[in-house]
Structure 1
Amino acid sequence: MDSWVRFSAQSQAKERVIRAAQYACTLLGYTLQRSGAATELHTTVSQLEAHMSLTRKLLRLGNSVEALEAAKRAIHLSDSVLRLCLTISHLNRAMYFACDNVLWAGKTGLISKLDQHKWSQRSFRYYLFALILNLTRDVYELRLLIECEERYRASKSPPSPNPSSTLSADHLSSSSSPVAQATLALPVISVWLRGQLHLLVTVLYSNPPLLLDLLKNSCDIFIPLDRLGIYPTGKGFVGACGLASSVLSILTIVHPWLKLKP
């Protein structure tokens, strides 16, 4: 099993490059269609996209084993939230790859009379569940880092009374009109929002692996949402999201330190 996992890891970079090319073809096909290009050119691009999709399915044969191994490692994590999210996410990825393998066999004719639409929808459902759990994990880790940053700032600069904030609070308490209270509260809320936004940007800037993983999963989630008809966005948007997430995935392969761990 370990030898198969090592073999799958070697083919992962090729699969990511082909994925980027596939979604680039999707985006190009949408652009050609919108610009009224020749039908033959659009057909050629669509066929190229289909061939790349089939090639990716071939490269992903057996990836279920790798996903199951990742689930076995994740189940031993000490953090209960990470353990739950990552274990179930890897199990969903294993089911997604298994459905994808069946779909590949149907497209190549190894399995005759396969309901390809049914298996495609099933695989995208598993893919969507895995992405939702991955995003949940990203948000959880982001929240932990924000809390650590807040504690660090509080320890470096102990809170001191702010005359302006005290004055604003006095004005708010003394104002009987709800409109006046809302008007006085707006600057305070605006300052708080700017502080939270600055804190978020600081944390993400200091943690590139989390930022890349969050962006990648945010782009990827629109693909199954569109294919399942939950939130249709169109081929152009799907192609752009798939291309962007593929480039981010290639970055994590070229520079392993950018990959979010565990």
Structure 2
Amino acid sequence: MATAASQVILHPVVSQSLKFGSTTLGRDKTYRAVQYFARFFAWYLLRSGDKVDAARWNALKSHLGTARKLLRLGKPVEHLQAALRAALATGPPTEQITTIARQIAYFGFLSYDVIVWANAIKFINLNSETAKRVSKTSNRFWLAGILFSIVNSVLKTVRLTKESKQLRAAKSWGEKDVGEETQRQARLHAVKAAQAAARRQFTIDLLDVWIPATGAEVVQVNEGTLGIFGLISSLMGMQAQWKAVSK
């Protein structure tokens, strides 16, 4: 009995799950996945006429959203630091500019998000019109950040695709010594990994962009669709973090 219990409790997947859950990003992505599933399910229940259960899932969505805002209280400064590091780094100017702009936009989004959180927990009291304006501004910054991220991913993908073709073509330029070929293969592998990361981020951004766009009243997408989009992007984020902690 003890052996069976130890095999379950000490199973590598359980250990990996604990390691994943011990990271702030891992917890946030998990909460986000549940939050957006709740958003979708509440919409589904409302359409089915089940208002009582829909209210329960709406409450879960709201409380998880508030909890996630609390976890992000220090994030604005992180994005300012990231913007500064991007400004000091070397690289393609267009990618550098879009990276800086994205980080500044996220700084604005999360700064306003603090006000939204403080009002939600009644630490401050904003009238309904002011609260709506603050929330809308927060979503506009979030939308701008995602749009800059999409442009950055496109620019990066174009550059990496061009470099990948050049590296493949280099193989036919003639005989090379072992050292040069090893370096070429290593760089090609790194480029492919960067391409995959850029494609993943591009996909996540395309799914997420509709959430702040709807919040900023730029477009109107129903709650069910937003819930599904948010759930998929959250699961993709969880998958990336799972791989990161397993290394």
| Bin of the TM-score, shorter chain as denominator length | 0.7 to 0.9
Once the two structures are TM-superposed, the CA of residue 230 in structure 1 deviates from its matched residue by 1.5
Residue 110 of structure 2 is aligned to residue 97 of structure 1? yes
Matches within 5 A, 1:234-253: 234-253=222-241
User: What stretches of structure 1 of length at least 5 have no aligned partner?
Assistant: 1-8, 159-202, 258-262
Q: Is 1:217 the equivalent of 2:230?
A: no
Alignment of 1:50-199 (within 5 A): 50-79=62-91, 80-114=93-127, 115-152=130-167
Q: Which residue of 2 aligns with 1:177?
A: none
Is the 2:29–2:237 Cα contact (8 Å) retained in structure 1? yes
Q: CA RMSD in A?
A: 2.4
1:207 partnered with 2:156: no
Aligned residues: 205
User: Identity over aligned residues, as a percent?
Assistant: 24
**How does the TM-score come out when normalised to structure 1?**
0.72
Q: Distance in 1 between matches of 2:51 and 2:240?
A: 37
Say whether the 8 Å CA contact 1:134–1:217 is kept in structure 2. yes
Q: Measure the CA separation in 1 of the matches of 2:32 and 2:204.
A: 13
CA–CA distance in 1 between the matches of 2:153 and 2:143?
A: 15
Distance 2:215 2:165 in 1: 40
Q: Deviations over 1:154-207 (max 9, x none)?
A: 55679xxxxxxxxxxxxxxxxxxxxxxxxxxxxxxxxxxxxxxxxxxxx98983
Q: Which residue of structure 2 aligns with residue 25 of structure 1?
A: 38
Deviations 1:77-103 (A, max 9, x none): 212122211111111111111100011
Specify which structure has the bigger relative contact order, considering alpha-carbon pairs within 8 angstroms and separated by 6 or more residues: 2
Give the corresponding residue for 2:61. 49
| TM-score (normalizing by structure 2) | 0.76
Once residues 129 and 242 of structure 1 are traced to their aligned partners in structure 2, the CA distance between those partners, rounded to angstroms, is: 17
- Report the AA paired with residue 32 of structure 2: R
Distance 1:33 1:109 in 2: 28
After TM superposition, the runs of 4+ consecutive aligned structure 1 residues lying more than 4 A away are 152-158, 203-206
Contact 1:204/1:211, CA 8 A, preserved across alignment: no
The gaps in structure 2 that reach 5 residues or longer are 1-21, 174-190
User: Counterpart of 1:222 in structure 2: which amino acid?
Assistant: W
Residues in 2 aligned to 1:141 and 1:205: alpha-carbon distance in whole angstroms: 12
- The structure with more radius of gyration: 1
